[in-house]
Structure 1
Amino acid sequence: MSTHRASISDLAAQLNLSVSTVSRALSDHSRISDATKKRVWELARQLNYQPNQLAAALRKGRSNTLGVVVPHIDGQFFALVVKGIETIANQAGFNVMICQSNEDAAQEQKNVETLLNAQVDGILLSLSLSTHDFGYLEEIRRRDIPMVFFDRVVESKEVSAVVLNDYQGGYEAVCHLIEQGCRHIAHLGGPQHLNICRNRYQGYADALQHYGLPLDPALVSFSDLRIQDGRQGMECLLAQAPQLDAVFSCNDLALVGAMQVIKRRGLRIPQDVALAGFSNELFDSLTEPMLTSVDQRCEEMGRTAVQMLLELINEGPTKVAPRQVVLQPNLLIRESSLRSSVLQETKV
């Protein structure tokens, strides 16, 4: 079977017409006769001709395509952010090209190069866990390609970005645990070069300070926040601080790993160890008990980021001042942290 894709040149050659005449006929140009249009369209159907939308858009100065780079689309957060991006982008007449860095800085750079080669009109980017060098982003600026960061961002007033108030989310989650009677609260933290992890940790530390509780290094474990990291971190925390009575995790994935260890040790949740996480994953309502978590307003983040990008595209990146939008978190309290209600029921 032939894999040759029919082109305008193929149509023109078979019909003995010029390429420009065929192009105008396909575009229903008023100067082309109905008879010629009919001949062109009939042959186009026979050859299964598909117009090159990218080439047509580029002739008009745009590809009508936006590029998105995410660390991964496992779990709910980035999938819902992308959903928000696509909803607004499609309404505005743009297609979306999605790339995953898989938490690898080198792959992230390749993703950006791919998007630049595809001549996207703008880029939305969330950094990988391993990204420390931002030099490769200079090529985007050199080409005047509009760019907006979201969630994991370059911390600079010179870039446009949409983030969650991660500090406030961490602070509220830990205050909630303290108000449930917890006094030895451990933290499963992520890489501190990332803004989201550092801000959540700071919220944890400041909540302890607000209530006059010490920040104990033995109650803190940093990792890449995978399920196995949560397991390993919890084993170390229980060995170092067996008195711990709560865990605040920087994400829900690591918290599930911690929960497995807690249950294996015969400890009760939340009576012995209360749990609170971050990201409000779909599985939070499927665990036993259901997990308290900070909702990150994922779709709103995606919608807001792409709206900012479209503004930059329409106005020009040099004409719109960089700005940062901060969304407020929402603490969703579920059974894993409701320790006081459990204690009251026990007393009754």
Structure 2
Amino acid sequence: MITRKKHVTLTDVAREVGVSRALVGKVLGSCSGNIRVSAETARIIREAAQRLHYQPNLSARALTGQKSGLIGVLIDAQPPAVTFRTLAFIDKYATENGYRLLIGEAHNSIDSLYHHYSNFMQYNVDGVICMAHDYPGQEEKLRELFRNTGNIVFIEKTILENVSCIEIDRVAAVEALAALLLETRKRVGIVLENPLYCSVRQRREGYYRALGRVGKEENGLTYYVPDAKISQEEMMVRVVEEFIVPEKLDAVIAPNDLAASHIMRNLLRRGIQIPKEIAVAGYDNEPFAKSLYPSLTTIDDRNEEVGRCAIQLLLELLSAKNPVPQAVRITPCVIRRESI
């Protein structure tokens, strides 16, 4: 026979500590009022609640208009690995401020994202951080569904007006990397993914800005990775065969660090020396990048700063009587290593 686990109540915690239920409710945020409680008593109550695995009744909190202590996060269901680094830092800073996360995943669907947002509202979340909204062709749907949403922070610039967001300035980052390569290289190319994505367009703009600074904007060398049902490793073989070798590049910027590692492997198998004959750079600053040989030059999106600022912006929205949307710009940094 399976015994159902008993739901721990405020009364159970009060009985464990030997104080009133009202006092426990005051400490654990389930009751308001003018009850006074010492710091030591509050500590003992919290420790008892943790020991008994007490979980607050979110429905009851919602009915009394109290904060839930929850933050909803919307992410793409098939994101690059770097997204989870940012999510980990969002969780870190949320926890430090007494919040827990609810995650909603969708892929290439603003409707699905909004469905998760609506579920968050049913759980009485205090605010939302949206990490997925750059879906080409769905801009009007985003404007329609999210135009009147409150207490939400978007990571990446959005078409929505008067919303708080973290702008990741990839234009400046790629411009800095391309400019660095152009100091010693003549034929610098860049490999890009789907040009419909805003982040890809930003990288292209940064690349051409760097070319423009040295009067070579007409000499741009770009390769767009086609949507093909083959592995990234196979695709980067094509990049080497169809772009890098025929164009006689002496430097290339890959779309991410894993792609860069595949490019390096194929170049070395052809006997092309890195960085003597060609410089290779990636993007994302994956942990393995510094362990490659030669170690990979890359761009770091400053994920911890993005996560910290997202939580900070959201908390400012939650605490303000008349919240004013803000935009924070974070410029990724170039991590120079042996591959250039």
* TM-score under structure 2 length normalisation: 0.76
Q: Is 2:315 the counterpart of 1:314?
A: no
1:193 aligns with 2:199: no
Larger Rg: 1
Correspondence list, 1:288-307, <5 A: 288-307=293-312
SS in 1 for 2:201: helix
Q: CA deviation at 1:76?
A: 5.7
Amino acid across the alignment from 1:320: P
| Distance (whole Å) between structure 1 residues aligned to residue 292 and residue 250 of structure 2 | 19
Q: Does 1:170 pair with 2:174?
A: yes
- Superposed CA deviations along residues 138-166 of structure 1, whole A, max 9, x for unmatched, are 54554x43111113x31344221112221
Partner of 1:162: helix, strand, or coil?
strand
CA distance in 2 between counterparts of 1:115 and 1:211 reads 50
**2:232 maps to 1:236:** no
Partner of 1:260: 265
| Aligned counterpart for 1:125 among listed residues 117, 126, 130 | 130
Contact 2:194–2:224 under 8 Å retained in 1:
no
Q: Could you give the per-residue CA deviations for residues 99-142 of structure 1, whole angstroms, max 9, x where no partner exists?
A: 34356656544443443333321111122664531425654554
Aligned counterpart for 2:206 among listed residues 186, 203, 207:
203
Letter in 1 for 2:183: E
Instruction: Name the structure 1 match of 2:93.
Output: 88
Distance 1:188 1:50, change over 3 A: same
Number of matched pairs: 308
- Counterpart position of 2:59: 55
Question: Structure 1's 298 and 64: CA in aligned 2 closer, same or farther, altered over 3 A?
Answer: same
Structure 2, unaligned runs of 5 or more: 13-19, 36-48
CA distance in 1, matches of 2:238, 2:115: 32
Could you tell me which runs of 5 or more consecutive residues in structure 1 were left unpaired when the two chains were aligned: 12-21, 32-44, 338-348
Aligned residues of 2:211 and 2:220 also touching (Cα < 8 A): no
Write the letter of the residue equivalent to 1:327.
I
The more displaced of 226-235 and 83-92 is 226-235
Matched residues in 1 for 2:269 and 2:111: separation? 38
2:192–2:222 CA contact under 8 A, matched in 1: no
1:283 maps to 2:288: yes
1:97 aligns with 2:138: no
Residue in 1 that maps onto 2:165 = 161
TM, length-normalised to structure 1: 0.75
Q: Any conservation in 1 of the 2:110–2:142 contact (CA below 8 Å)?
A: no
Q: What is residue 44 of structure 2 aligned with on the other side? A: none
Q: Is the 8 A contact 2:175 2:207 kept in 1?
A: yes
1:148 maps to a residue whose letter is: V
Percentage of pairs with the same residue: 23
Q: State the SS of the aligned residue for 1:123.
A: strand
Is 1:328–2:331 an aligned residue pair?
Answer: yes
Q: Match of 1:186, as an amino acid?
A: G
The Cα of 1:171 is off from its aligned counterpart by 0.5
Q: State which of 180, 184, 193 in structure 1 corresponds to 2:187.
A: 184
Post-superposition Cα deviations, 1:217-253, rounded to whole Å, max 9, x if no partner, equal 65422457983444443332136x3411111123223
| Structure 2 counterpart of 1:197, one-letter code | V
Give how far 1:209 is off.
2.0
